[in-house]
Amino acid sequence: MISFPAKGTHVTVRWGILGCGDVVRKRVAAAIQAVDGCELLAACRRDADSLKTFCDEFSVPRGYPSADQLLADEEINAVYIATPVHLHLPQTLAALAAGKHVLVEKPMALTPTECELMINAAKEINRTLGVAYYRPFYPAIERLGQLIQTGQLGKVLAVQIACSAPIVLEEDGSLPWRVKSQEGGGGPVMDVGSHRIDVLLRLFGDVIDIRGICSRKSPDAVENVATFALRFDDGPQASVTCLFDAVHDPDSWTVIGTQGIVDATPLNSGRLVIRTCDGDQVEHHPPHANYNVPLIADFVAAIEEGRPPHVSGEDGLRVNEVIEQIYRDAR
């Protein structure tokens, strides 16, 4: 179990989950159940058999076939939204209107305007709103930030990143929502690229120039290959290639400075190879075995302490603003 000490009054966060897809089954449900002060009270899925299977697997006492029914449950005080991106705005607004705190999957919404509506709604009723970007909690990212801030790499010149996500067909053989533009908002830029954008913004600050190239299998499809370049206010440039369909995820991350290079490939491993004039140094900073546990723990602490979570709605908005400009330039 992991717990973050709270300064405020202790509360039990009783969670309901909207959407029981892969990410929830693999990590989110177990993460909620692993954090002190949390109770996974309910889940929602339209398919009755799938809902029962999920509730049985994770010993969830309440299963609801509709979001409205789950949100009407007065014992639930926080909702994790893990549905397709086009549902994030309406479901977040409905959850907030029902008085719940909301942690929403990434990307936060389809557009920056939608993100702003979600942020304003949370502020109006004084509820906590967070976005499920979990890589800021990686110890390797914290260490990378230290190397950059202390100047051990000299002046950072460039960052090179490549990442991919598989496309798995639904049980009936149909395409998943991630490749449907009306449901997911885009392809790998929205899906896996958003994670990298979030970390880059945290490490290097404001973006002052954005370029994007997107390739599609057909004119009406989302991109399956995208490369974008970001130039930051303090000078560094980042180039990111994100893909659907690649057999292996390169998960590469290389930072190049005037005095050194850090290779954090694969990023999910936590292994850093630091190359300077003094030679190579290998460090290991593995993430939590369940990536979502520190994210959930911080969100609960934010509720207790009356502060914004480490990954706030404003952070989600910044990522969506960059994504929108990438797509605009690519067009």
Question: Residue 6 has what pLDDT?
Answer: 43
Identify the band that residue 7 occupies on the pLDDT scale cut at 50, 70 and 90: very low
Q: Are 187 and 224 in contact (CB under 8 A)?
A: yes
Is the residue at 182 inside a domain?
Answer: yes
Is the residue at 273 inside a domain?
Answer: yes
Per-residue pLDDT for 297 more than 80?
A: yes
38/116 same-domain check = yes
Which residue range forms the structural domain that includes residue 103?
Answer: 13-133+292-308
DSSP annotation string for 89-151:
HHHHHHHHHTT-EEEEPSS--SSHHHHHHHHHHHHHHT--EEE---GGG-HHHHHHHHHHHTT
**Total of domains in the chain:** 2
**For residue 71, what are its two tokens?**
């949100």
DSSP 20: -
Identify the band that residue 1 occupies on the pLDDT scale cut at 50, 70 and 90: very low
66/106 same-domain check = yes
173/282 same-domain check = yes
Identify the band that residue 5 occupies on the pLDDT scale cut at 50, 70 and 90: very low
pTM recorded for the entire structure: 0.94
pLDDT in tens, 261-280: 999 999 999 999 999 999 99
143/281 same-domain check = yes
Is the residue at 270 inside a domain?
Answer: yes
Q: Are 306 and 122 in contact (CB under 8 A)?
A: no
Q: Specify the CATH number for the domain of residue 201.
A: 3.30.360.10
DSSP annotation string for 216-253:
ESSTTSPEEEEEEEEEETTS-EEEEEEEES-SS---EE
Is the residue at 44 inside a domain?
Answer: yes
Lookup result for tokens 């190239």:
213
144/261 same-domain check = yes
147/109 same-domain check = no
Per-residue pLDDT for 171 more than 80?
A: no
Separation between Cα atoms, residue 52 and residue 64, nearest integer Å? 10
212/272 same-domain check = yes
Of the candidates 205, 196, 203, 225, the one whose C-alpha atom is nearest the C-alpha of residue 323 is 196
Phi, psi of 154 (to 5 degrees): 75, -150
129/154 same-domain check = no
Is the residue at 330 inside a domain?
Answer: no
Percentage of residues in the chain with pLDDT exceeding 90? 87
Is the residue at 326 inside a domain?
Answer: no
Of the candidates 28, 241, 266, 34, the one whose C-alpha atom is nearest the C-alpha of residue 138 is 266
* Cβ atoms < 10 Å from Cβ of 180: 16
Is the residue at 3 inside a domain?
Answer: no
159/99 same-domain check = no
Is the residue at 120 inside a domain?
Answer: yes
Q: Specify the CATH number for the domain of residue 34.
A: 3.40.50.720
Mean pLDDT, the chain, rounded, equals 94
Q: What is the mean pLDDT of residues 191-211?
A: 97
pLDDT in tens, 221-235: 899 999 999 999 988
